[in-house]
């Protein structure tokens, strides 16, 4: 980038030539300096970078849940309940192990696929299609939350509590409710976020400057869909780990 | 808008301050649009479809591990293998990590590496807690354990003696 950058004064000469940089001073200077052209991520916008950084912090939160789950499961002397049997459903009198969780997994992967397509259509400036696919994604997300509510209801009726359950180690309940609850909360927020952005995309908020409003972002840019997509794919990513480590282990 | 102009800086090294200002000053929506499009993460739909199908196949495979009730080392190996493959596909393709610059990839993917150390510490801790519980809070376990260990350590003999 060849944007004119004034040469830095030699060390110690700042006091001698206070205006050498010709930059604003005081609080304004703080913002001017932090918002200057010195950036590490040359091709990723700040919006995308910040979403990634948020996702890193979220990774740490979910990792703390999963690691604490590992710790209590390793340290208990009581047998851990078998998820395969607990999450089985009966169809025509035949018990199919873990089938509900499998359906939820496929549901979330489907929504991830439609989200990826929405991002693609957004960049292709096909905003109706992008908005439609985002609504489809939100539908699958809401379905996922619905199935999770069903699962919670079933387990609570069977007597699973955060402090104990009839199947085995008492820690099972607290791990289950914390991990799936936090993930379900992420999905729920994602559904709302998706519907909101989909509405903006459908109206063409990102095309026409006069329609810009609250939370709308930049005109003519559909990167917001990609940023939204990062969040959604992350929710799917977390489920991959929960599915493997909590339900299959 | 300013990002639109700056993002392109990497590719179009000839961008001048005036050029960037034109973008900033508004009225430049049409000028910025092709730029944004050129920069955006747009890839052939085929790639997404392949990954989508792969995720379905891998999920089915990991479900079948449970369905066929595989046990032991094979079970853990398959579960972990499918988990990382799925995670890799999602991050690399769906989240576009494969097309980002390495600076961003490192900044995002290396910090979670610290979790491996945390994981290790807590595994040791969990193991220790379990042996402690078996020794002091689970009589049945103590019996079998101390019988096995009685000949080896004097401490176990002591515990067994107290029972």
Beta bridge partners of A89: A96
Q: Do A116 and B14 touch (CB under 8 A)?
A: no
Q: How many CB atoms lie within 10 A of CB A115?
A: 31
Q: Does A221 contact B36 at a Cβ distance shorter than 8 Å? A: yes
Q: Is B8 part of the contact surface with chain A (CB cutoff 8 Å)?
A: no
For chain A, give every domain's residue range.
44-248
Instruction: Give how far Cα A193 sits from Cα of A139, A179, A219, Å.
Output: 12, 21, 19
Pick A44-248's CATH classification: 1.20.1090.10, 1.10.357.10, 3.40.50.2020, 1.20.120.80. Answer: 1.20.120.80
Residue B16 with chain A: CB contacts under 8 Å: 2-3
Q: What is chain A's pLDDT, residue by residue, as a tens digit (249 residues)?
A: 445 455 554 444 444 445 545 777 888 878 777 776 667 777 788 888 999 999 999 999 999 999 999 999 999 988 899 888 888 888 877 888 888 899 999 999 999 999 999 999 988 888 899 999 999 999 999 999 999 999 999 999 999 999 988 898 999 999 999 999 999 999 999 999 999 999 988 888 777 655 555 555 555 578 889 999 999 999 999 999 999 999 988
* CA distances in angstroms from B117 to A56, A233, A241, B121, B122, listed in the order given: 16, 26, 18, 6, 9
User: Residue A31 pairs with which residues in a beta bridge?
Assistant: none
The 10 Å Cβ neighbour count of residue B74 is 10
- Using left for φ > 0, alpha for ψ between -120 and 50, and beta otherwise, residue A154 falls in alpha
How high is the mean pLDDT in each 10-residue block of chain B (163 residues)? 40 39 38 42 84 92 86 89 94 90 88 93 94 80 52 46 42
Nearest CB to B108 within list A56, A73, A117: A56
Distance separating alpha carbons of residues A52 and B109, to the nearest angstrom: 10
Domain extents in chain B? 2-39, 45-100, 115-162
DSSP states along A6-55: PPPPPTT-TTTSTTSS----HHHHHHHHHTSS--S-SSS-HHHHHHHHHH
Of A218, A211, A198, the closest CA to residue B36 belongs to: A218
Residue A38 neighbours by CB distance under 10 Å:
8
Which B residues 125-144 touch A at CB under 8 Å?
125-127, 129-130, 133-134, 137-138, 141
């Amino acid at each position: 980038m060849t944007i004119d950058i004034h040469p830095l004064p030699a060390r110690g000469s700042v006091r001698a030539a206070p205006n050498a940089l010709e930059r604003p001073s005081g609080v304004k200077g703080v913002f001017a300096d932090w918002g200057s052209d010195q950036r590490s991520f040359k091709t990723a916008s700040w919006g995308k970078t910040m979403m990634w950084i948020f996702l890193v912090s979220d990774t740490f939160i979910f990792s703390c849940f999963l690691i604490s789950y590992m710790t209590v499961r390793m340290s208990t002397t009581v047998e851990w309940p078998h998820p395969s049997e607990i999450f089985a459903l009966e169809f025509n009198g035949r018990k199919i192990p873990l089938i509900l969780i499998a359906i939820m997994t496929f549901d979330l992967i489907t929504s991830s696929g439609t989200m990826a397509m929405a991002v693609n259509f957004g960049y292709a400036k096909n905003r109706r299609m992008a908005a439609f696919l985002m609504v489809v994604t939100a539908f699958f997300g809401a379905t996922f939350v619905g199935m999770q509510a069903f699962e919670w209801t079933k387990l609570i009726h069977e007597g699973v509590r955060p402090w104990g359950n009839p199947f085995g180690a008492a820690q099972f309940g607290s791990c289950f409710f914390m991990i799936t609850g936090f993930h379900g909360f992420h999905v729920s927020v994602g559904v709302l976020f998706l519907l909101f952005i989909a509405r903006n995309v459908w109206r063409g908020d990102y095309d026409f400057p006069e329609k810009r409003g609250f939370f709308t972002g930049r005109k003519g840019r559909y990167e917001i869909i990609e940023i939204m997509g990062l969040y959604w794919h992350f929710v799917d990513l977390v489920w991959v780990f929960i599915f493997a480590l909590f339900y299959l282990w | 808008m300013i990002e639109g102009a700056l993002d392109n800086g990497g590719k179009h090294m000839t961008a001048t301050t005036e050029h960037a200002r034109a973008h900033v000053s508004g009225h430049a929506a049409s000028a910025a649009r092709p730029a944004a499009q050129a920069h955006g993460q747009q890839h052939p739909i085929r790639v997404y479809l392949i990954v989508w199908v792969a995720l379905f196949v891998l999920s089915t495979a990991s479900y079948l591990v449970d369905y066929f009730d595989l046990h032991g080392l094979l079970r853990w190996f398959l579960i972990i293998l499918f988990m990382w493959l799925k995670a890799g596909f999602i991050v690399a393709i769906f989240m576009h990590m494969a097309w980002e610059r390495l600076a961003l990839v490192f900044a995002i993917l290396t910090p979670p590496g610290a979790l491996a150390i945390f994981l290790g510490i807590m595994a040791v801790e969990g193991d220790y807690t379990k042996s402690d519980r078996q020794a002091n809070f689970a009589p049945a376990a103590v019996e079998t354990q101390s019988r096995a260990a009685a000949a080896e350590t004097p401490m176990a003999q002591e515990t067994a003696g107290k029972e």
